[in-house]
Structure 1
Amino acid sequence: MKKGLMTMTIRSPGKIRLLLAAAPLVIALAATPAFAQDTTAAPLPSAPAPADDTSQQDVVVTGSLIRNSATATAAPINTLSAQDFVTRGQNTIAEALQTIPANGAGTMTRAWNSFGFATGATAVSLRGLTTGNTLTLFDGQRSAIYPLGDDGQRSFVDLNTIPQSIVEKVDVLQDGASSTYGADAVAGVVNVVIKKEIVGLHANVSAGISEHGDGGEKRADLTYGYGKLSEQGFNIYINGEYQSSNPLYARDRGYPYNTNDYSRVCNGAGNCLTNETINGIQANGDFGGLGSTRVPVVQPYLNGAPAYEDPADPRGNFRLLNASAGCRDLKAVTLTPAQQAAAIGANTPTDPQICQQDNINDYLQEIPKQQRYGATAHVTVNVGDRAQAYATGTFYESKTDSSISPLAFANQTAAGGTQFTLSPVILPTYICPRGTTVDCTAANGTLNPNNPFAAAGQQARVNYRYDLPRRTLSDAKTYRFAGGISGSFGDNWKYDVNGTYSEVDLRITNKNYLIPQRLIDVVNDGSFNFVDPSQNSQAIRDYIAPTNVNNSNSKLWQVQASLSKALFALPGGDLVAAVGGAYRHESVYNPSANAPNEVNPADRYYSINSVSTIGSRNVRSGFFEIDAPIFDQLTLNGSGRYDSYSSGQDNFSPKITAIFKPIEQLRFRGTWSRGFRIPSFQEAYGQPTTGYINATVSPDQPGGAAYIAAHGNNNYAKLPYSYGLTSSGNPNLKPETSTSLTGGVVFEPNRHFAFTVDYYHIKIKGLIGAPDYSGVEEAYYANNGVVNLPGISVRPGIADPDHPNALPQLGFVEYQYVNTTSETTSGLDFSGTARLPLGHGINLTSRVDATYLINLDQTTPAGVVQKFAGSLSPCNITSCSGAPRWRGSWQNTLDFSGRASLSATAYYTSGYSMASVDYGGDPSDCSASLGSSVYTYNNGDAYKCHARRFIDVDMTASVKVGDRFTFYANVLNVFDAKPDFNPGQSYDSGFGYNVAWESQGFIGRFVRFGAKIDL
């Protein structure tokens, strides 16, 4: 055991289950002596102060400029305290925010951050309006964005950079707040508030592991603080924390999540899902043709074409290049004569022995390896009797390591500039040293040792997939500094002056990504060993797939000041006015990791996105707020902000709120505001950025049957494939503008109970996005590749090497971002809290939070209203993870005189239609999404038209030993809930479930033990 860090090794799943079952009992027994020592009733924990609570100390309310003890907010705010993180067993702020009900469609979880555009980052999407419309603040101040955009488009702040151990609370303002904070606060604000004062030494260590014995994690943090503001007039503390978590792979769990052979999933009539492994045999015995695996197969070629014209001539069959080695570590399959005949029909004649490769089982990483650590120093000083100053500095580093399936040698370079396709890959008869400028012949070369047909004067077409998985490593270093002073002078004039500087330095390292020009080089000089690929030297591997390192950064600095004063008395209290101004600079530098190469288009990587964004701008802002308690029962508030951008845009954002309290126990509240979102750097200046979606050509769609027939009914035409959506920036974009309103009721009949219901409605105009491409697939296959849609161009994909003259798969859909039409969302927020004394010092706290999504609609340029609520859409934003109508949580905590606690929290996400509405689907017509988001049996019937709800229950327990030590245990997913197997979700990326909402179901039951020391 390392000093200061608790480690745990448990190898037996049976023992893990025993520990899980025993943990609550052990903690309860340990707590018993503490209960016996004090049987008197402890005071009931006080409820969080309502918005209009009057204390003697000025408070800062998220969404307001006014520091005032009597300030009330009409906007719904969901506050997560440091204690909430403990009682819910949440180890990171990112993890906690993912579970709030208001986090909707478009959220970025750690499972998404492996190979998404914003590799290594996480973010939330309030109201389902994307990460770009959720503003994240630190103590009310902005922070530098992540250098990579969500979907290569939207700017956001990475939640992985927040040091949880010093966070006092997180306020989630569930309302538009552009009148206070400016751009991007359309859907709401996440304000992370760190502790102002920490005294003494505080340490926390924990370790956890799943009941399967994998996915282990470790955490440690240490904080030391000195000085009390009330006594010495200052406080200074330093903090450090470390966290690490191990990766999880698909192969770590059982069927059907550990494979892409779904052919064992069948209906009552005997129809089964598709076996999508490479060279897989279907449940009915069908074989769709030969694919490329990490075991090379070859076919004799002559002058760039098959050496034998008759595909039934066995001399022209594909065969194992190294028959003596067989399939090595892959599954060997012997084809029947009927299956061989099918391969001939697919124009991939092959010998009976083939090898199957399961990329999901071999390579798919469900949860990336992650490591996070950082340090913070904070000082607060009383300046005289009427002012307080602070300064804080944080360094935080977050690293991830992800892997995914390897690439085939026959492929196409990434979108951007002129693309190069290498297909098929032909091994020459003779090889010559690299750099030979004349044709390689018998006169100047030697027979190719990789080509078994060379002695016969033939070439060899080789089908081969690289044997090393692609790896992407992210390393984000965040530097954040802030300082300021607030206080009062004269006749109670209040001021607040602060500034901040932040920077994110990001390094993305890509390994095992191939460059076609270099493949051509090693094919022609024979230096790559196809006969036994495992014998290739590291030098050869480094040549064909050199490590790609891309450094980017983003910066932000800001200064702002505000002044407020109570101007005169009204019947309900003082009218308070505040004014202020701010100036900030923000920039991003993200050069392309795979820039276009017009001199030699082949000298670029496969697969690495060409995305690039470089830009900067300055923002000048002025703002005001007036709070007017008209009389005791009615308070009105008005605010506004004007922002002027050096890039040419400007905007004024007003807001009006009202609180009406007819009786002490009942409060009505409402808000109206206008907001805006400035085009992100990626949207305005980004170079071509490509994301991929999966599709399947159905024989029932227009042109589908003819397309499949033209390809000999082979797997190229029948199985799911990917095509790219390539977007480019548009400097002429206008800001999105929004109108928001909320209205609700707060009912607090007594100090034990509180209930709230709020309605929200947000409409965004000038929505920035893609032109409507929902008809591209149908038009492409119906019109032999010709697509005439406004603002859209298409490129074909890699040609079918076995039918090179047939229409290729759809390859790329290309467009510039445009201001489209509008998006509207509305819903209801519910919350309820009960705090009940049960006697003998035992108190029960029960809290329910829920959000119901009434509608999430987007209007296309053609005037068609796409309704996403309760469906798998919007796929273009959520990667087909959907917009569930209901999300909620229910937390119940028993507190035993402050000496021990036991808590259970249930999280609920409702089911939804599998319709991909923005790709032409219809929630009321399952058939409209067949072959895309709705998986089908081999007879064409739908597998599932609806995804079921997911419920996850977490339990935590803690006990104090003396005044200095606390021991705790967390059991996450205590009932071991499984995700709904439904492979059309998550862009059919091989997960088989919805990674946005159900990742804990894949992880399974998870136990964590820890200890805290407070000195």
Structure 2
Amino acid sequence: MQTPRSAAARLRAVRRGLLAGLSLTSLASITTVAQAQDEASEDEIVVTGSRIRQDPLAAGRPVLNLDEDQLDRSGLNSVGDFLQRIPSSGGGLNAKVNSSGNFGNPPDGGGVGAGSAEIDLRYLGSRRTLVLVDGLRWVNGASASGVPGATDLNTIPSSIIERIEVLQDGASPIYGSDAIAGVVNIITKQEQDGFAASAQVGAYDKGDGVSQDYQLSWGVSNDRTRIFFAGQYVHQNAVDSADRDLSDFPVATLDQCINTCSSATPTGRFIFTDPVLGDQDLTLADGFQYTGTNPAFPGDFKGFTTADRFNFSPFNYILTPQERVGFMTQVTHDISDAVEFRAKALYNNRQSVNQAAPIPLFIGPFGGNGNRMDTISIDATNPYNPLGYTLSGTSGPGYGVFRRFFEAGPRHFEQNVDTYYVSGTFSGELGNDWFWDASAYWSRNSASQIANGIVNSAKLEQALGPVALCTGSCVPFNVFGGPGSITQAMVDFVTFDQQDASEQEIWDLQFNIGGDLFNLWAGPMSFAAGFEHRDQSGFFSPDPVVAAGDTADIPAQPTSGGYNVEEMYGEFNIPLISDIALADSIEANFAIRHSTYSTGFKTTAIKYGGRWRVSDELTIRGGFTEGFRAASIGELFGTASRFDALLNDPCSAPVAPAFVANCATLGVPPAYTQINAQISVTVGGNPNLQAEESDSWNVGLTYAPEWDGVFLENFVAEANYYDIEISGAIQALDAQLQLTGCAATLDPGFCNGIVRNSAGFITAFSNQLTNIGGINTRGLDWSVAFDIPLGETNLGVNWNSTRLFDYTEITPTSTGFLETSREGRLRSTPQQAFPKLKSSLTADWDLGALSLRSTWRYISGLRESCIGFTAIQGISGAVGCSSYNAADDNLSTNRLKPKLYMDVAASLEVSDRMELTVGVNNVLDTDPPPCFSCQAGGFDPAQYDVPGQFGYVRLVWRP
């Protein structure tokens, strides 16, 4: 399918780009040591964001450079955690995210990505940030619960990294799909003389979360050959939710249950209609103790209340344990003075664990599972049924039995991920400043996950059904007796260890050539062009029991798919003016890339830009970039699954006046009350998805005055404004927005896919992927760096910030479009915070053999919806919604206060080759702001640290 842009649209884009101004060199690019692809020229090399060899000091792109020393002194053991701290990062998955499938799968077909670490630039999602390693696209992650569309940075050992270049601008005309928000290019070490090693040990002030990070590297070289080897071992212990006040209950700041605790309890919740007594909502009486005798109905039961709900939070982690081992070998050989060959091989293994409370059994039509559990009947002949009649799952008024399967123990989800990578690159010179390279590489991510304590719903149905049919190994099951009434024989019959697997693979061939075409009046016109062929494939294979639909937990079906793409690109740098007043140089740049996918999708992306170097001190730049993102394998081919979203049903009693009439129209009885805070939402891929397209504009300047000899030295200031518009964005509607929008407007665009039964319960909620209207976002990055000479010492200061002006999601409705502003707010599903300001300031005081470092990290305040959480108002000791609306809790909001973190470290050069670093992250013991709408943990793990101070010691031995 061809997706050309109209001539008028291109003309508007060009005009807007030119009006934005001409190009400059970013602060980070001034200090860049360019991409390590070839060092034949000391003056001109390839810098991230362009294929043209050029002076890195003149590269007109907003590139943030992060070196090995910054990573080493951060106290962090994951490159993903490190990158998530830069101000332009919107977050992403990390080890603080405990969901392993117990909440279900997100709607993007990628699975939960348990144990992964990702980078999300501009809050546009990790799928819209391209990750490269040495300029080559890295394979997407494997989650063992889907086929992700983003890179897992935990597959890249930190020990191999020389530096990281972060292009904070779109680059699809250079690199192809996914480079909408930006590009992260991880540059690996290529050579070293001798042996190097480091060891780091750290822990939180409570003694938990102990981490160990051991790295080693070795290199040898002669006149023509360089060999480099590096390895890393990381061991990270867990931090339990039970050990932090913020996280030991589902709602932060509470020490008691409200409606967000689970109605599936060890004593059970029983909702049914008795032929004599009518509607019942019961649990076991407080004094009942199971001794082998069934409880008597109704004498041993009482009415179910909020106080009877189950607190599942203490079983969770707020920092998940994991173990990683990674190795890389790289060999570089000069075949001749003009031709070089480089081979690289990498292996990485991650083993990680997530934990959740014992599985809840939601049995019967009121369970809302969307699977066999909804149709199970508890037969009158079941020996543990105290009612004397059958609770039918297929006829009659319906029922719900909700039992926490405590006897099966907490659920553990154990992931094992293997990453393999092999590449070979030839590169060389053609003379007259022309260069070429040809690369081929293959990579695979293979993942498996074992989950214990999962229930086979087919066996549970047999064990609860007619006793005459419970034959062979079947053991009748007891859901009415309370704690201790489920025997080990019952556990063994209905439970199994769920084993899932997934894999992603990439093959890539590419050829690039570049040089100076000819000289113009202002200098040489530079050129680069190339061709790339890429094959990507992936699959997800759930456990056969799950694929058969016989699980009591999250349903899933196998997914597999793949595609190939052929791409050609060209890039030009055109000097226009040089060496005149107010213009040391003015140049224009242009790039174009055409992509043809085997799925039928074709597109052409174009980039226009310019750079105006006013003088040695001031440079201005601007540009316009077309981008695209082809739907990932999981998005296209992901089968239906389920996500248990934390949602508030606006039709649940008491209903706000604005919704009463519409809820009645939807068939909801006035007495209907939402049973659980989580509502099961059906999610999955969509083979009819179209590719996303984006238009982005940027303008910026760099000011670097020659102030040497005065109070400040090496002063550089930069500002970069960005404006990104994405059309046809691939994502699901905000489930809460969809549910509330249906009740508020009855718009079919919201209501289609939401099905209720006669009692008002939601029995189906489809929230699958679609090309929504779009996303528009604008913001400003700025950086300031300088040195202050202090006698024989030096104080270096580096300040980086990002201000989010606007982030608007555009959703189609039957009557037009709904615009939802997200800046300064926290979205609950899928969870994402959009702080208006993030800032990081680092001061390094070099005292000779001793250096001191302090980093301040600021996150501005946020506002979240308080829908469904107004029950906390008035509870003693609780921090309630800051803007509470007693008349309509749909209008209640809560403010998450701004937070300031401080990290400190001291490094001592013990000898010429040995350095000792001692540091404390979060030395001020700043706690995350309590978050009511966050899915787990009571705070947003993508933005804030685990509560507590983290201290560490690092010893480094240099070659």
TM above 0.5, yes or no, is yes
Which residue of 1 is the match for residue 838 of structure 2? Answer: 887
User: In the alignment, does 2:274 pair up with 1:306?
Assistant: yes
Q: 1:974-1003 deviations in whole A, cap 9, x for unaligned?
A: 00001112312x2xx2422222212x1x33
- Is this contact kept in 1: 2:443–2:505, CA < 8 A? yes
Pair 1:65-2:51 in alignment: yes
Which among 216, 219, 228 is matched to residue 225 of structure 1?
A: 219
Of 606-615 and 698-707, the range deviating more from structure 2: 698-707
Instruction: Report what 2:234 is aligned to.
Output: 243
Within 5 A, what are the aligned runs for 1:788-799? 788-789=748-749, 792-796=752-756
- Distance in 2 of aligned mates of 1:296 and 1:723: 19
Measure, in 1, the Cα distance between the counterparts of 2:390 and 2:821.
60
Q: Distance in 2 between matches of 1:99 and 1:366?
A: 18
Q: Check if 1:48 corresponds to 2:48.
A: no
- How far did residue 210 of structure 1 move? 0.6
Structure 1 pair 463/658, CA: closer, same or farther in 2 (3 Å)? closer
Q: Counterpart of 2:705 in 1: which secondary structure?
A: strand
Deviation at 1:767, TM superposition (A): 2.1
**Partner-residue secondary structure (3-state), 1:179:** helix
The answer to whether residue 541 in structure 2 is matched with residue 591 in structure 1 is yes
Instruction: Indicate which of 659, 670, 673 corresponds to 1:702.
Output: 659
Quick one: which of 710, 714, 722 aligns to 2:678? 722
CA contact under 8 A between 1:881 and 1:995: conserved in structure 2?
A: no
Cα distance in 2 between the residues matched to 1:823 and 1:457: 52
Q: Select 1:178's aligned residue among 172, 179, 183.
A: 172
What CA distance in whole angstroms lies between the structure 1 residues aligned with 2:663 and 2:563? 52
Cα distance 1:473–1:872, how it changes in 2: closer, same or farther (>3 A)? farther
- State the SS of the aligned residue for 1:512: strand
Percent sequence identity is 24
Q: In the alignment, what sits opposite 1:963?
A: 912
> Displacement, 1:190?
0.6
- Structure 1 residue 656 and structure 2 residue 656: aligned? no
- Say whether 1:843 aligns with 2:843: no
- The answer to whether structure 1 residue 512 and structure 2 residue 450 are counterparts is no
How far apart are residue 545 of structure 1 and its match? 2.0
The residue type equivalent to 2:686 in the other structure is N
Structure 1 residues 614 and 466: alpha-carbon distance in aligned structure 2, compared to 1, 3 A threshold: same
> Where do 5+ consecutive residues of structure 1 fail to align?
1-45, 266-272, 280-290, 327-342, 431-447, 800-804, 922-931
- Aligned runs of 1:57-456 on 2, under 5 Å? 57-69=43-55, 72-104=58-90, 107-112=92-97, 114-115=99-100, 117-148=112-143, 155-227=149-221, 231-254=222-245, 256-260=246-250, 275-276=258-259, 291-295=263-267, 306=274, 308-309=276-277, 318-319=284-285, 323=289, 350=302, 356=308, 358-411=310-363, 419-422=371-374, 426=378, 428-429=380-381, 448=383, 450=384
Aligned with 2:159: secondary structure? helix
CA distance in 1, matches of 2:172, 2:364: 44
State how far apart, in whole Å, the 2-side matches of 1:782 and 1:961 are. Answer: 67
Judging changes above 3 Å, is the alpha-carbon distance between structure 1 residues 202 and 415 closer, same or farther for their aligned structure 2 residues?
farther
Describe the SS at the equivalent of 2:748. coil
* Structure 2 Cα separation of the partners of residues 858 and 900 of structure 1: 49
Q: Corresponding residue for 1:754?
A: 716
Per the alignment, residue 951 of structure 2 pairs with 1007
Pairing 1:617-656 to 2, within 5 Å after superposition: 617-632=563-578, 633-656=585-608
In the superposition, the TM-score normalised over structure 1's length comes to 0.78
Which residue of 2 is the match for residue 330 of structure 1? Answer: none
Deviations 1:138-170 (A, max 9, x none): 1110122123599x6861111111111120111
1:486 matches 2:427: yes
* Correspondences of 1:746-785 after superposition (within 5 Å): 746-750=702-706, 752-770=714-732, 776-778=738-740
**Residues 773, 789 of structure 1: 8 Å contact kept:** no
Task: Quote how far apart the aligned CAs of 1:550 are.
Answer: 1.2
What letter corresponds to residue 246 of structure 1 in structure 2? N
> Deviation digits for residues 777-832 of structure 1, max 9, x if unmatched?
3476689xx98337931233xx7xxxxx6221x24321553333222111101001
Query: Does the residue aligned with 1:743 lie in a helix, a strand or coil?
Result: strand
Q: Which secondary structure state, in structure 1, belongs to the residue aligned with residue 604 of structure 2?
A: strand
Q: Tell me the distance in 2 between the aligned counterparts of 1:644 and 1:615.
A: 17
Which amino acid counterpart does residue 769 of structure 1 have in structure 2? Q
**Amino acid aligned to 2:597:** Y
CA contact (8 A) 1:771 1:792 kept: no
1:775 CA drift (Å): 6.3
1:56-81 CA distance string (max 9 Å, x none): 34422011112234673222011111
Structure 2 counterpart of 1:293, which letter?
T
In 1, are the aligned partners of 2:132 and 2:183 still within 8 Å (CA)? yes
Aligned partner of 2:125: which letter?
T
Q: Residue in 2 aligned with 1:25?
A: none
Q: For residue 8 of structure 2, what is the aligned residue in structure 1?
A: none
C-alpha contact (below 8 Å) 2:924/2:949 kept by paired residues = yes
Q: Following the alignment from structure 1 to structure 2, what is the Cα–Cα distance between the partners of residues 80 and 806?
A: 58
Gaps of 5+ in 2: 1-28, 106-111, 393-398, 579-584, 707-712, 870-879
Deviation at 1:724, TM superposition (A): 3.2
Kindly indicate whether the alpha-carbon contact (under 8 Å) linking 1:416 and 1:688 is maintained by their aligned counterparts in 2: no
8 Å Cα contact 2:863/2:893 also seen in 1: no
- 1:244–1:764 Cα change, 3 Å: same
- Measured after TM superposition, the shift of residue 389 of structure 1 is 1.9
SS in 2 for 1:850: strand
Instruction: Output the aligned Cα RMSD.
Output: 4.1
Q: Which whole-Å CA distance do the structure 2 matches of 1:261 and 1:60 have between them?
A: 50
Offset at residue 137 of structure 1 (A): 0.7
Compute the displacement of 1:292 (Å).
3.7
Cα 1:264–1:85 shift into 2, 3 Å: closer
User: In 1, distance between residues paired with 2:435 and 2:518?
Assistant: 15
* Shift in alpha-carbon separation, 1:937–1:860, aligned structure 2, 3 A: closer
Partner residue of 2:783 out of 815, 819, 831: 831
1:556-588, Cα deviation, whole Å (9 max, x unpaired) = 011111111222223443222122111111111
Contact 1:296 1:320 in 2 (8 A): no
Which structure carries more strand by proportion? Answer: 2
Cα 1:421/1:668, change in 2 over 3 Å: same
Change in 2 beyond 3 A, CA 1:995/1:155:
same
Partner of 1:856: 807
Which residue of 2 is the match for residue 569 of structure 1? 519
Which residue in 1 is equivalent to 2:855?
Answer: 905
Distance 1:419 1:969, change over 3 A: same
